Structure 1
Amino acid sequence: MRIETKFHATIEIDPAEKWYFPKGIPGFENETNFVLLPIEGSDSLQVLQSTNQHEVAFIVANPYTLVTDYTFELDHATIDLLEISQPEEIMVLGILSMKQPDHQSTINLQAPLIFHVQNKKAKQMILNDPRFTVRHPLDKGGN
């Protein structure tokens, strides 16, 4: 399957690599199919790219590698929607806001992306937790 991307031009992807967001992402509810693409030169950053609209793409990373003391509980709506039965079935990513210089970049800890690694369903879950913000500074050394 060929898709146009924001950062990688037109590429060929395996349809089995698509992630399905049944309710879209807040602000992008009509975008339900995405793919995770690597960023050349980075082991920790990826692009969450819409397969339908090339301009809809987000830089994402594992929040646990960038921020210390990040914990939360999955809500029942997310567990049900994604059909999660075991903690090992999920992957958590956060959307980054990239700044120059890099150390001013932030990560959205208030609304993590939850991925079911087996059935390829995903959701952005809103936490409403005062410990976290949508522009949480990255811990020192978390580039």
Structure 2
Amino acid sequence: MIIQPKFHGEMEIAEEKIYRFESGIPGFLEEKQFCLLTLDDTPFFVLQSLETKEVAFIVTNPFEVYRDYEVKLTDEVLSSLQIETELEVLTFVILTIQDPFNDTTANLQAPIIINSSKKMGKQFIMNGSEYRTKHRLIGPLEEQGGE
């Protein structure tokens, strides 16, 4: 499939790289097919809609940034994504990119969960958790070991 993504030039996407979001993503319920594209030499990806070029989310693996982050999937999520083993699960969080980049935030309350073997995904809203929709991606300088 040839696509014209928001942040890349025209490219071909193999069928096995397409993920189906049966319920869409909150706010984008009509967007059902997405692919994950790498962003050069960064830990970030683009979750790109295949239906609408302008619908693209910058995402990252939260476990690489937030060491204590936990996601407890409900039976409903496990069932709807047909998850049988932890090895099938890919987890991403949507970033809100800011200028300056140090103000960028991650939505830890609603991670994107993908079953990599079944090519299915959904945004899982963790109601009642301590996580919020805007966690700083990069902490203040003193938290990063600076002065």
Instruction: Tell me the TM-score normalized by structure 2.
Output: 0.90
* Equivalent residue, structure 2, for 1:22: 22
Gaps of 5+ in 2: none
What is the number of equivalent residue pairs in this alignment? 140
For 1:110-129, what per-residue CA distance to the aligned partner results, in whole angstroms no more than 9, with x for missing partners? 10000101011001000013
In the other structure, the counterpart of 1:61 is: 60
- Which residue of 2 is the match for residue 104 of structure 1? 103
After TM superposition, which residue ranges in structure 1, 4 or more long, deviate above 3 angstroms?
Answer: none
Structural mapping, 1:31-110, within 5 Å: 31-42=31-42, 44-110=43-109
Which residue does the alignment assign to 1:118?
117
TM-score (norm 1): 0.93
Would the alpha carbon gap of residues 56 and 92 (structure 1) be closer, same or farther in structure 2, given more than 3 Å must change? same
Letter in 2 for 1:17: K
| Identity across the alignment (%) | 37
CA root-mean-square deviation: 1.2
CA distance in 2, matches of 1:22, 1:65: 27
Give 1 or 2 for the bigger CA radius of gyration. 2
